[in-house]
Every structure is written in structure tokens, then in C-alpha cells.
Amino acid sequence: MTGTREQHELIKMRLRLAGSSLACIARELGIQPTTVTATSQGKRRSRRIELAIARKLGCTPQSLWPARYDEAAPQEGLP
């Protein structure tokens, strides 16, 4: 699995290739760019930001950050 730093760099690259950036997403959402960066880096969680990044890339947040969503998923066999 790709580490969070490498994953963050891949997201930035994919956004650039799509003609966007983390700063563009921050402007569209009306929030600070550092908040979007922190979410991409895995330092914080925000479903709203994760969804905005994923939409720009034409995918789902689960495909970008599978570990984040695997942790949140209920475990089979557990109450």
C-alpha cells in the first residue's frame, strides 16, 4: 500500500493532470487551502473535502483512501 505522503503526492499530480489543484478545491469549497492539504495528507478527516477531491478525479473517496474507509467499515462477525 502507498504511504500517506506518496498518496498525497499522487493525488496532487492527478489533480494537476485534471487541470485542478488542492488550492482550487479550497477556493470552490470556501475554505483554507491548508485544510484541504491536511485532509489529503491524512492529518485530518473531512468527508466533504474527500468527496470534492474524488469528484475532481472522477472516482470515489474510498478508491483514493481505502485505509480510511476500511477502518470505518464494520467488521464481519463483530456486533
Say how far apart CA 68 and CA 19 lie, in whole Å: 26
For 10-30, write each residue's pLDDT tens digit: 999 999 999 999 999 999 999
The answer to whether 40 and 9 have CB atoms below 8 angstroms apart is no
Our measurement of the distance from residue 45's CA atom to the centroid of its chain's CA atoms, rounded to an integer in Å, reads 9
Q: What is the pTM of this model?
A: 0.83
> What's the pLDDT at 62?
93
For 20-72, write each residue's pLDDT tens digit: 999 999 999 999 999 999 999 989 999 999 999 999 999 999 999 888 887 65
CA-based nearest residue to 46, from 30, 56, 57, 35: 35
- Tell me which DSSP letter residue 7 carries: H
Say how far apart CA 21 and CA 39 lie, in whole Å: 13
